[in-house]
C-alpha cells in the first residue's frame, strides 16, 4: 500500500465487516513533536484477545487453517518502519480501536494520500454507518460527521446519490483548503 489513506480504508473496512454502527477516524499531525497519529475506532463486534494476537502477528502463529489477511500487519509494519508504534485494543461485543503512530518527518513515512477518496468509499458502502472524521494539524482542526451531513441533506430531500456527490464536492473543497492552510 502506497499511502496511508489506503491503510485507513482497509482498517475501516474491517470495522464495517464487524458490523460497526459508528466509526471514528482521527488523524493528528503535530509538527513540534514530529508525530503523526492515526486512530480508527469502531463499535463493531470486537475480537477475543487471541484473535487480536493472531491478526497482528500472522506469521508467528502458523498452525491455522483460517486465512488471515494482511491489512493490520501492513499498517503495523508501516508504523514501525517510521519509528512509530502500533496498538489494537479490542473488546468482544464492544468494539475495536486501532492506533498507529509515525515519525512525521521520517523518510519512509508514506503520504496521507487520497483521504477524501477513502471517506467517499466508506460513505458509499452498502452498509450505512455513522462516520466521524477528524484531522488535527497543529492548531487547526477539520471535522466531518456523516450523520449530521446526511440529516441536513435528507431534510432538503436529497437522495443517497446526491449525498455522495455533494459530500465529494464539499470534502474536496473544504478538506483540501484545510490541508493547504
Ligand atoms: N475492527 C475489527 N473488528 C472485529 N474484527 C476485526 C476488526 N479488524 C480486524 N478484525 C479481524 O481481523 C482479521 C484480519 O484483518 P486484516 O488484517 O485487515 O485482514 P482481512 O481484512 O483481509 O481479513 C479480519 O478478517 C477480522 O476477522
Ligand atoms: Mg482488512
Q: Are strands 130-137 and 95-103 parallel, antiparallel or unpaired?
A: unpaired
- Ligand 2 center to residue 11 CA distance, Å? 5
| 168: enclosing H helix or E strand | helix 160-180
| 151: enclosing H helix or E strand | helix 146-155
If one residue of 17, 39, 46 were mutated to test the ligand 1 pocket, choosing by the most ligand atoms within 8 A of its CB, it would be 17
Cβ–ligand 1 contact at 152 (below 6 Å): no
CATH number at residue 46: 3.30.565.10
Count up the domains in the chain and report the number.
Answer: 1
Q: Which tens digit of pLDDT belongs to each residue from 65-97?
A: 556 678 999 999 999 999 999 999 999 999 999
By residue count, the chain amounts to: 181
**Residue found under cell 513515512:** 109
The candidate with the shortest Cα–Cα distance to 126, out of 100, 90, 164, 177, is: 164
Q: Is residue 154 part of a domain?
A: no
The pTM of this model reads 0.95
Ligand nearest to the CA of residue 18, numbered in listed order: 1
Q: Is residue 96 part of a domain?
A: yes
Q: Is residue 181 part of a domain?
A: no
The candidate with the shortest Cα–Cα distance to 91, out of 38, 44, 131, is: 44
Q: Give me 57's grid cell.
A: 502477528
Q: Is residue 13 part of a domain?
A: yes
The candidate with the shortest Cα–Cα distance to 82, out of 121, 124, 34, 143, is: 34
**In which domain, by residue range, is 106 found?**
4-114+127-145
- Ligand 1 center to residue 152 CA distance, Å? 33
Q: Is residue 42 part of a domain?
A: yes
Q: Which tens digit of pLDDT belongs to each residue from 112-150?
A: 999 999 999 999 999 999 999 999 999 999 999 999 999
Q: Is residue 75 part of a domain?
A: yes
Cβ–ligand 1 contact at 75 (below 6 Å): no
Q: Is residue 173 part of a domain?
A: no
87 contacts: CB under 8 Å, gap ≥ 6: 98, 99, 100
Comparing 3-17, 59-73, 105-119, 139-153, the range with the smallest average pLDDT is: 59-73
Q: What percent of the chain clears pLDDT 90, i.e. is strictly above it?
A: 88
Query: Whose C-alpha lies nearest to ligand 1, atom 26?
Result: 14
CA of 162: how far to CAs of 29, 125, 153, 167, 173, in Å?
A: 32, 15, 8, 8, 16
Q: Is residue 162 part of a domain?
A: no
pLDDT value of residue 181:
79
- Ligand 2 center to residue 10 CA distance, Å? 5
Amino acid at each position: 500500500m502506497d499511502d496511508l489513506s489506503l491503510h485507513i480504508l482497509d482498517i475501516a473496512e474491517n470495522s464495517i465487516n464487524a458490523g460497526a454502527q459508528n466509526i471514528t477516524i482521527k488523524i493528528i499531525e503535530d509538527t513540534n513533536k514530529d508525530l503523526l497519529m492515526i486512530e480508527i475506532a469502531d463499535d463493531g463486534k470486537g475480537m477475543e484477545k487471541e484473535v487480536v494476537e493472531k491478526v497482528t502477528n500472522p506469521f508467528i502463529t502458523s498452525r491455522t487453517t483460517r486465512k488471515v489477511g494482511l491489512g493490520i500487519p501492513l499498517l503495523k509494519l508501516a508504523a514501525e518502519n517510521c519509528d512509530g508504534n502500533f496498538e489494537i485494543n479490542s473488546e468482544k461485543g464492544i468494539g475495536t480501536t486501532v492506533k498507529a503512530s509515525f515519525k512525521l518527518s521520517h523518510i519512509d513515512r508514506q503520504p496521507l494520500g487520497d483521504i477524501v477518496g477513502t471517506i467517499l468509499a466508506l460513505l458509499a458502502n452498502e452498509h450505512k454507518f455513522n462516520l466521524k472524521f477528524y484531522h488535527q494539524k497543529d492548531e487547526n482542526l477539520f471535522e466531518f460527521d456523516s450523520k449530521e451531513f446526511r440529516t441536513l441533506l435528507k431534510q432538503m430531500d436529497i437522495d443517497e446519490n446526491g449525498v455522495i456527490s455533494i459530500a465529494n464536492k464539499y470534502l474536496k473543497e473544504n478538506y483540501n483548503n484545510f490541508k493547504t492552510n
